[in-house]
Amino acid sequence: MKYTSLAVAAAMALAAPAFAQTDLKIGYALATDSHYGVGAAAFADVIAAGTGDEFNIEQFPSSALGGEREVIESLQLGTVEVTIVSSGTLANFVPDTGVFDIPFLFRDLNHARTVLDGPIGQEILAEFDDEGLHALAWGEQGFRHITNNRNPIETPADVAGLKIRTMENPVHLEAFQAMGAAPTPMAWPEVITSLQQGVIDGQENPLSVIVSVKLNEVQKYLTLSGHVYSPAMILVSGPFWDSLDDETKAVFEEAGKAAVAAMRAYVDNVETTGVETLKERGMIVNELSPEQKAEFQAAIKAAYETYYQTYDQSLIDSIIATK
Ligand code: PAF
């Protein structure tokens, strides 16, 4: 018996890496089969390969570590190392990020990707280093659309008084207030129960979320409003980032790029297949025509006045002018 234990111990010692492997937590709000899940998996693969398995990325999907704001705060404290988040609460940490939440700002996915990967997006990423965070890259969710249980939405009058959950994001909140809806900012982990209990009538999110969360189980109508682009971000804990050497930091930057590529590929796919999937699952779907979209844009005129007071007009103009 004694000899067997020794042999097992010797075999284990030979198989074990020559160093202690460090587990790092990555937390995110959605399931492993979502755009966040595929991004996190791609991230983990590059980290394992690039660091010779020095770091092992442990996945904490489905808000297992809390809501997005809580997880970002945990990154600042250094108790969680990595997260993929929406822009929901980012402006609380770096106010400039809110400019990308302005409705009808981006023409299409390519426009958004060009701005975020270009100087405007990269300068805003760099601001996170002063907030106990390191922003690796802009990820993506897609354009947000409205789902609800009350009625189909074709004109701004159809959202009057609609109890719609928004992210805890003042730019989104102002837009829905200006439309005459009754918006309720709420952290994501409360949303499904609130929809089931009828506390809210609807919510808004991109197809990537609506499909992967199966929102059709709690929502009847989907309006393809595309009212705002929804960026995501891959963030690393500042204290953890500061502890890394330059070589390892370069691996993390590569992993961030791999995560973005995986997320964008997921979004590209769900943008072409998602509506059919949701119709098959029983949702009643309508798409706003360009004229109907223009009516919504006109309805939020008052919100635009606030946006132009909050964000530099020249910044907004250069985003719009980016080709
Ligand atoms: O609506 C939100 O809060 C976000 O889009 C979500 C679903 C948590 C993904 O980051």
pLDDT on residue 17: 54
What's the 183 CA to ligand 1 centre distance in angstroms? 16
Dump pLDDT digits (tens) for 152-193: 999 999 999 999 999 999 999 999 999 999 999 999 999 999
Ligand 1 atom with minimal separation from the 213 CA: 7
For residue 243, pLDDT beyond 50: yes
Residue position matching structure tokens 């929406």? 86
pTM value is 0.93
Nearest by Cα to 142 from 71, 36, 60: 36
How far apart, in Å, are the Cα atoms of 253 and each of 51, 94, 238?
12, 20, 14
> What CA–CA distance (Å, rounded) separates 127 from 183?
30
Ligand 1 atom with minimal separation from the 84 CA: 10
What are phi and psi for residue 155, nearest 5 degrees? -130, 165
pLDDT level of residue 10 (50, 70, 90 thresholds): very low
Q: Which residues face 287 on adjacent strands?
A: 224
pLDDT on residue 3: 41
Instruction: Quote the DSSP letter at residue 21.
Output: P
For residue 11, pLDDT beyond 80: no
Ligand 1 interacting residues, C-beta cut-off 6 A: 29-30, 68, 85-86, 88, 141, 167, 188, 205, 209, 230
pLDDT on residue 177: 97
Inter-residue contact 26 to 71 (CB < 8 Å): no
pLDDT on residue 13: 46
Tell me the DSSP string of 57-85. EEEE-TTTT--HHHHHHHHHHTSS-EEEE
What's the 67 CA to ligand 1 centre distance in angstroms? 9
For residue 16, pLDDT beyond 90: no
CA 255 to chain centre: 17
CB atoms within 10 A of CB 261: 15
Element (H or E) spanning 306, and its range?
A: helix 301-310
Inter-residue contact 46 to 198 (CB < 8 Å): no
For residue 1, pLDDT beyond 60: no
Q: Is 34 helix (H, G, I), strand (E, B) or coil?
A: coil
How far apart, in Å, are the Cα atoms of 164 and each of 37, 62, 94, 280, 297?
26, 22, 26, 24, 18
pLDDT level of residue 2 (50, 70, 90 thresholds): very low
> What CA–CA distance (Å, rounded) separates 206 from 209?
6
pLDDT on residue 20: 83
For residue 5, pLDDT beyond 60: no
> What CA–CA distance (Å, rounded) separates 133 from 235?
7
Angle ∠(86,88,94) on CA atoms, nearest 5: 95
What's the 158 CA to ligand 1 centre distance in angstroms? 24
Buried b (16+ CB within 10 A) or exposed e, 23-32: ebbbbbbbee
pLDDT on residue 9: 47
Dump pLDDT digits (tens) for 286-313: 999 999 999 999 999 999 999 999 999 9
Buried b (16+ CB within 10 A) or exposed e, 280-295: eeebebeebeeebbee
Radius of gyration for the chain, computed over Cα atoms and rounded to the nearest angstrom: 21
pLDDT on residue 70: 98
Dump pLDDT digits (tens) for 65-116: 999 999 999 999 999 999 999 999 999 999 999 999 999 999 999 999 999 9
Q: Which of 11-20, 28-37, 58-67, 147-156 has the lowest mean pLDDT?
A: 11-20
What's the 161 CA to ligand 1 centre distance in angstroms? 23
Dump pLDDT digits (tens) for 33-73: 999 999 999 999 999 999 999 999 999 999 999 999 999 99
Domains present along the chain, CATH in parentheses = 19-321 (3.40.190.170)
Q: Angle, to 10 degrees, between the axis of helix 246-280 and the axis of helix 35-50?
A: 150
